[in-house]
Copies of this chain bind each other. A is one copy, B any other.
Amino acid sequence: MATHSHDTSLAGLTRNQSLVMGALSGASAPLSAYAILDQLREAGVRAPLQVYRALDKLVELGLVHRLESLNAFVACRHAGCETHDITAFTICEQCGKVAEVTDSKLAGQLEEIARRQGFRATKSTVELRGLCKQCQAAASVA
């Protein structure tokens, strides 16, 4: 029998969540919530909230990251990765490509900074904007 309504396809995700996840997985650069919305209109998604709610959940599950300096979202590339503690992102301003880096020394350094102040961090944002290797090469040709 057909599982009506909530068809998940990706374990445990609801329809809207898997639509949003699919859009992000298929993208080569971060997508804004509204870009996702536009892309999913023909699949029946009509309102910003449907996208934002799905994004909230996906971020909570660690399947998607929000890039604060871009107000946009990317699918997590660390397949089944569990260590979602502290991730740094490099974001190419030319081609939009994003790389995720987890680095224990960086994590340690951030913890140290917090500790020195008696600050209890619950979330961290580390984003580097600039040019990726490929785009630097392309630029130097021009």
Contact = CB atoms under 8 A, between A and B. Distances in A.
Interface of A: 68-69, 88, 90, 92-93, 99, 101, 103, 105-106, 109-110, 112-114, 117-133, 136
13 contacts: A68-B69, A88-B113, A90-B117, A90-B121, A99-B119, A105-B109, A117-B132, A119-B131, A119-B132, A121-B128, A121-B129, A122-B131, A125-B127
Contacts of A127: 68, 124-125
A68 B125 contact: yes
Nearest to A108: B109
Nearest to A127: B125
Given A92-B119, A124-B128, 13 more contacts: A68-B69, A69-B125, A90-B114, A106-B106, A109-B109, A110-B128, A119-B128, A121-B129, A123-B130, A124-B129, A125-B126, A125-B128, A126-B126
